[in-house]
Amino acid sequence: MENAVSDHKFKIGQSVNYTSGPFGAGIATGVYKITRLLPPEGSDFQYKIKSTAEPHERVAKEGQLDRVDMSELSDRRS
């Protein structure tokens, strides 16, 4: 399991764009922060993610996450 965690694409504390699955209809889509690396489910790595807009964490598969461009984040704060 230690080896699987080291192969994750994203790191704890990293900001990512999350796209919810087809049943979520984009409701939870947005910028989230990685809070924990989880073991894979099949060939998909999983993460716990947290948005400042929600009181709870979510579990997301790596395929639902994309890197956030840091300039994109600073534009949103302006």
The mean of the pLDDT values for the chain is 83
Of 32 and 73, the one with more pLDDT: 32
The mean-pLDDT minimum among 1-10, 14-23, 39-48 falls in 1-10
Domains of the chain, earliest start first:
2-77 (2.30.30)
Tokens 């994203």 identify what position?
10
Find all residues with CB under 8 Å of 37, minimum gap 6, and list them: 5, 8, 12, 45, 47
When pLDDT is averaged across residues 28-41 and rounded to a whole number, the result is 92
Is 0.85 topped by the overall pTM? no
Nearest to 9 by CA among 51, 50, 44, 59: 44
Mean of pLDDT values over 27-51: 92
Structure confidence at residue 24 as a pLDDT band (50, 70, 90): low
